[in-house]
Structure 1
Amino acid sequence: MALFHDSGYIRRQGETGIQNGAEYTKIHVSRSAQFMAEYLPGIGCDHWVELAGKLVHFTGYEYSPEQIELDSPQQRVMGGLAGTADVIAQMADRAYLEKCRDRLYPEFELGGMTRQQQADGSETVLYESAQDLLLKTPAFIKQTIETRLQGHFHGLYHHVAAHFGGRNLYMEALENNCRYLEQLIEENNPALLNQPLLRP
C-alpha cells in the first residue's frame, strides 16, 4: 500500500483532457485506492484490496482517519504508521521549504486548492501566492503535528527514535525546518520570494 499511496496522480490513457497529474490532487488518494483495486488482483493479492483501499486514506485528507472503518486496532496502527511516515518524510526533507514554494503551490493551483468554494457560492482565497503559502506553512506544520501526528496517529512518530538510538532525526529536521522558516519570515528575508531556502 505504501508504495502505491500516490499512484492516483498518474494519468490514465483515456484521460486526454488532463494535462497534469496535479489536477487530481484533491482526489488522488481515492484514485490510488482504485489503482490498487485493479492492480493487486493481477499479482495474486486480491485479498489485500479492501484493506489497502482503506489504509491508503491515512496518507490523505479526503477522509478523517476516525471515519475509516477497520476490523482491528492493529489495522488502525498500520494506517497510522503509513500516515506518519508520509508526513514526517515530507516535512523533514531538507528542501521541504523550497518544494512548498516552487512545487507544492503550482500543484495546488492545478488541483484547484488555492481557493475554496463556500456553501453560499462565494469563494475564499486560501493561498494568494507561493510566498503566501510559505507564510502559512509554520502554522500548518504545527497543526499537523498536533492534529495528525499526535492526534489521529496517536504519537506513533515517537517510535522512530528507537531506530536512531534515541534521537528522532525526522522530527528534529522537521522542527528545524519550521524554526528556520519562522526566522526568515520574521526577518522578511527576500529568500522567501525566489532564492534557495536550504537551511544551514
Structure 2
Amino acid sequence: MIPPPDNSTSSISSKNVPFDTRQLSTLVAMESPEAVHNEVLHILRLINTAFDAAPLSRIFSFTVDLYEGKLQEYRACNTHYHNLRHITDTYLAMARLLHGALLSGENFSNREIFLGLTGALMHDSGMIQESCDSEGTGAKYTQEHVQLSMDFVTKHAADLHLNDQEITDLRTMIQGTDLMVDFSSINFSSSTVELLGKTLGTADLIAQMADRTYLEKLLFLYHEFQEAEVGNYKNEVDFLHQTLNFFEISATRFNETLDNICRHMVPHFKVRWGINENLYIHSLENQRKFLEKILANKNISIYQELKRSDIVRIVRKKYGNTGLGE
C-alpha cells in the first residue's frame, strides 16, 4: 500500500501563488485533454515518484479516440453536456481526491489508483453510440447509460487491460455514479472498492457543478433530458429553477451518501498549489448564488446573464427556439 507521500518539496507557499490562481478554472487549461492528463500524471508523481503511468496513458488515449470517433465500432460523441470535457473534468477531480485521501491517511495501491482513474474515464461510455446507430444522439440513452457503461467496460476488458475481478470492481464503481441507485445496495467486493466508488461518485458530480460554465451547460443538459424523456420540465428556464433544488439534493449526497469524500480536496490543493481551500466547493457555491440571483431578478433576461463561452448562442443555433423560456 502507498503511504501518504512526503510532498514538502512540491508544496507552493500561498504567498507565492498569484491571486487569480485561487480560481479553480485558472489552475489547468481544462479545455485541453492533454493538459488535463499531464496534470493527472503530475499528481501521480506526487503520490509516488515510481508510479508507472503508461497503462493509464494508454487508456486515456483509448478514451479520447472513443469520444472523437476514431474507433471503428463507435460514432463520435454527439452530446454537448456529457462530452469529452466532462470526462476529463471528472478524471482530474478523481486524481485530486485520491491524492488528498492519501494525504489524509487513506491507503490505495498503485493498481487501485489506476482502477479508480479508469472508472473516471469510462463512467459515461454508455452514451457513445455504436456506428450502426444513426438515430438521434447518445442522449437518448440517459436513463440506462450507467448500465451501458458497465457493459462497455466488460466488452472492452482486453483494451483496458483489466482482469475479471477488476472488471467486476469497475462495474460497481460506475454503478455508484447512478443517482437513481441506492448506494447502500451496491455489492462492492471490499471497503476499499466502496471507497473508490464513493470517490468516483463525488468526482463525477463535483466536476460538473464546479465547472465555471455549469449554468450555461445546463441548457445542453435540458435538451439531453428532453431527448431521453427524462423529467417534466416546461422549458430551459424551468429547468434552471429546478436546478436550485438539485443543489440541495447534491449537498445531501456529498455529505451523507458519499461520506463527505469531497473534504479530501483541501489537502490536495494545499500540497499541490499552496491553497488551503476546497476550490470545488467554492466554485459550486458561487454557481448556486449566481443562479439564485438571476432567477430572483424579474427585471433581467436570464439568457443575457449566462455569458460564458458563447454557449447560449450555440444552444440557440442548434435547437432554435425549442425549449426557450422567459
TM-score by structure 2 length?
Answer: 0.54
Q: What's the CA shift string for 1:111-161, capped at 9, x where partnerless?
A: 1103xxxxxxxxxxx211110010111111121111x11111000001101
Report SS of the residue matched to 1:181: helix
Determine the structure 2 residue equivalent to 1:27. 144
Determine the structure 1 residue equivalent to 2:175. 57
Letter in 2 for 1:128: K
> Percent of counterpart pairs with the same letter?
32
Aligned residues: 184
Q: Distance in 1 between matches of 2:152 and 2:127?
A: 10
Letter in 2 for 1:160: M
User: Any conservation in 2 of the 1:94–1:198 contact (CA below 8 Å)?
Assistant: no
Structure 2 vs 1, CA of residues 157 and 189 (structure 1 numbering), >3 Å: closer, same or farther?
A: farther
The structure 2 residue matched to 1:164, chosen from 256, 264, 269, is 269
User: Any conservation in 1 of the 2:139–2:228 contact (CA below 8 Å)?
Assistant: yes
Q: Distance in 1 between matches of 2:233 and 2:241?
A: 10
Q: Following TM superposition, by how much is the alpha carbon of 1:196 offset from its aligned partner in structure 2, in angstroms?
A: 4.5
The structure 2 residue matched to 1:87, chosen from 196, 205, 208, is 205
User: Which is further off, 52-61 or 149-158?
Assistant: 52-61
In structure 1, stretches of 5+ residues that fail to align are 115-125
**Structure with higher RCO (Cα < 8 A, 6+ apart):** 2
User: Which is further off, 155-164 or 43-52?
Assistant: 43-52
Q: Distance in 2 between matches of 1:66 and 1:198?
A: 40
TM-score by structure 1 length?
Answer: 0.86
Root-mean-square deviation (Å): 1.6
Report SS of the residue matched to 1:164: helix
- Larger Rg: 1 or 2? 2
Q: What's the CA shift string for 1:23-78, capped at 9, x where partnerless?
A: 00011111010000000134431332111111101222242211101122211110
In structure 2, stretches of 5+ residues that fail to align are 1-118, 271-275, 309-326
Structure 2 vs 1, CA of residues 96 and 41 (structure 1 numbering), >3 Å: closer, same or farther?
A: same
The structure 2 residue matched to 1:107, chosen from 224, 245, 260, is 224
Determine the structure 1 residue equivalent to 2:259. 154
Letter in 1 for 2:248: K
User: Any conservation in 2 of the 1:97–1:198 contact (CA below 8 Å)?
Assistant: no
